[in-house]
Every structure is written in C-alpha cells, then in structure tokens.
Amino acid sequence: MMDITLLILILMVFTAAVAALWLGGWRLIVSGLKQGGYTVRLVWLRLLLGITLGGLVQVLIPAELIVEWMGPASGPSGILIGSCLGVIMAGGPYVQVPIIASIYKSGAGVGPIIALLAAGNALSLQLLFTWHLPFFGSRLNAARYIACAVALPIIGLVGSVVFSVLSVS
Amino acid sequence: MAEQYRRKNRGIDITLLLMGAVVLLLVIFAFWLGGWHLVVSGLKQAADTVQFVWLRLLLGITLGGLIPVLIPVKLISKWLGLESGFKGILTGCGLSIFMYGGPYASFPVIASLHRAGAAAGPVISLLTGLGWLGLGALISYQMPFLGIRLSLARFIACLLIIPLVGIAGGALYELMGRFSVKGRTP
C-alpha cells in the first residue's frame, strides 16, 4: 500500500533526477545511479545482517522488562537508568514512544523520560547494528556513540529544567 | 570515486566481522532460550522489515547517489567540510530538523555527503539530530503520546546539546584516527 513517506521519497527522487537531467543530461543521472550502486555494494551484506539482528533483538528483549526498570521506584538515578536503557530499546518510534509513554504514565520523572527518549535514538543497539554501522562504519559510530552517551544525562537534566520553565510560563 | 571506493574496500572489514559475530551470538542465544522456533521468529521479524523497507531503501540510495553529483564537492566542503568548523556543526543540526523519511532514506544521503567531503563533526551532529530533532517523529509520535510540553522540553534540550555532541564527536573521531589501523571502515 502506498503511504506518505513513500510518496515523498518518490517525489524527492523524481525532483533530483529532473534536476540532474537539466544540469548535465543523462550522463549525470547515470553517474548518480553509479554512486547509488557503490553504496549498495558497500552496505548490502551489513544491512542484511543488521536487519536479522533487529528481528532477533525484538524477540529477545521483552517490553515488560523495560517497564520494570523505569517504573515509579527508579528514583533520582532514573536519568542514568533512562540513558542506559536506550541501549536495549528496539524498533522505530511507533514501537518506542508508546512504551515510553506507558512508563511516563506509571510515574517516571520528566528527566528520565527525556533521557530515555533521546537514548532510544542515540544508543539503541538495534539502530546501531541495523543502520548506523552498515552506512558509517566503526570509527565514526564509536565517536558518535561516546559523545551521545556523555550528553544524555545532561539532556535529561536540561530537559527537566526546560519542562519546569514551560510549566511556569 | 570508484577508485576511492576500491581503495577503501581492501583489507579486513572490521564492521562486517563485528556484525557477523553479534548475529551469530544472538542466533545461539535465541536457540538456547527457545530453540529453532525463536530463531525462526526473529528471522520472520527481519523478513517483515525487508518487506517494509526495500523500496524506500532503493529510493534512498538512488537519492544518495544523485545528491553528490548535483551538489558541488566544493559547496559540501564549504558548509560541512573540515574547514567549516562550528558553522558545519550548526549546518548539520539545521539540516537534520528538516530531513525526512527514516534511516533508509536519509542514511544513504548522509553517507554520500560524508564520502563527498563532509567532516565527522557535522556528520555526527546531522546523524544525532535526525533522531533528536526530526519533526516527523516529534509531530507524529511524541506529541500525541507524551503531550506538547514534554515533547517541546525534550526538543529544546536536544537542540542546545547537539552542537556539543558534534564538537566532541568530531574530536573523538580525529583522536581515534591517530590510533587506528587503516582498514575498510568508511
């Protein structure tokens, strides 16, 4: 079934192809397709392994376990726990956000929830192995991962302050 | 570009080895926990993902191939290259807000920009910003589930911190480069 994301992607590819044709004719389009071919050659096996890994992670880590760790009793260490839990978060936003929302509703603080939301994107092993490593390799990802891991508790703290300011205003 | 690609592909691919080892470990773990049934269940989840992303991924890779031939390398270097400095990191953050389409569409584009000369710092801020600042996830998922106030607080906090992530990530990348053995890692 056709969806909005797919339609927008088709539109973007079509626009880029028309621009390439206008700028440099068929030669430029073929050159662009060759670049795409190099990317496929580089990532196809990594991507296949990553998608397999993503499927396995989803069946190995139960959602109930995540709720247990981030429940009402998490206390002041919640921001750190939220940051660390991002590592085992799996699935896209359509999977992660409902789980995190249920943790929030069960009494978790704003800081831990913000840290967890950010960590789910930045530190998720599933995302790392499925998408980041196949396209960007080990070195860039190691640098990104370490920088994000250090930044996450700060985001949790800053986010809770911003939340308080927004609540007052 | 082809020669550069071939040069990069000589030697051991550490990323591929690492991923192969982790997949093997997880298959063994799944087999130990639930036998072939759990392994097959994981592979079925993977097949569902392939079914969902293959066309989007193909379009994303095509787009990623077209962008470097449309945008001059000089322009990429100027805005996102090593000499772009803090401006490059801010450009990466700004681009990430408006990038659309999930990793299957955006990662091939960013990987192409990186190969065309975008430096590690701006690429890291762009990759991090995709997850933290993407308007699609903010509007479609976070606001409906978590409310506007909490979603905005997270967005503002991330917006403030991402430049620091870009700076620190870029510095770490350069530092790792001094100690790494030349391999296939892009």
pLDDT greater at residue A105 or residue B10: A105
User: In this complex, do B64 and A51 lie within 8 Å of one another by their Cβ atoms?
Assistant: no
Residue A150 has pLDDT above 90, yes or no: yes
- pLDDT value at residue B117: 85
Name the pTM for this structure.
Answer: 0.74
Residue B109 has pLDDT above 60, yes or no: yes
Compute φ and ψ for B118, nearest 5 degrees. -70, 135
| pLDDT band at residue B168 using 50, 70 and 90 as cut-offs | very high
The DSSP-derived string for B118-175 is --HHHHHHHHHHHHHH-HHHIIIIIHHHH-HHHHHHHHHHHHHHHHHHHHHHHHHHHH
pLDDT greater at residue B84 or residue B171: B171
- pLDDT value at residue A66: 54
Residue A34 has pLDDT above 80, yes or no: yes
Interface contact A21, partner B, CB < 8 A: no
Going from N- to C-terminal start, the domains of chain B cover 2-179
Q: Are A159 and A110 in contact (CB under 8 A)?
A: yes
| pLDDT band at residue B58 using 50, 70 and 90 as cut-offs | confident
pLDDT greater at residue B47 or residue B74: B47
In this predicted model, what pLDDT tens digit does every residue of B9-32 receive, in sequence order? 455 667 678 778 888 988 999 999
User: In this complex, do B70 and A13 lie within 8 Å of one another by their Cβ atoms?
Assistant: no
Query: Which of A117, A126, A154 would best serve as a mutation to test chain B binding (most B beta carbons within 10 A)?
Result: A117
H or E stretch covering A57? helix A4-60
- pLDDT value at residue B161: 95
Residue B184 has pLDDT above 50, yes or no: no
Query: Which of A14-18, B135-139, B160-164 is modeled with the greatest confidence?
Result: B160-164
Cβ-Cβ contacts under 8 Å, B149 against chain A: 163, 166-167
Under 8 Å CB-to-CB from A20, ≥6 apart: which residues?
A: A28, A29, A32, B66, B69, B70
> What value does the mean pLDDT take over residues A94-116?
76
- pLDDT value at residue A62: 62
Cβ-Cβ contacts under 8 Å, A50 against chain B: 19
Listed by number, the residues of chain A in 70-129 with a beta carbon closer than 8 Å to a beta carbon of chain B are 92-94, 97-98, 100-101, 104, 110, 113-114, 117-118, 120-122, 127, 129
> What value does the mean pLDDT take over residues A1-22?
78
Cβ-Cβ contacts under 8 Å, A136 against chain B: 107, 110-111, 114, 123, 127, 186
ipTM of the complex: 0.74
> What value does the mean pLDDT take over residues A142-164?
93
Interface contact A166, partner B, CB < 8 A: yes
> What value does the mean pLDDT take over residues B150-158?
94
Interface contact A46, partner B, CB < 8 A: yes
> What value does the mean pLDDT take over residues B108-121?
88
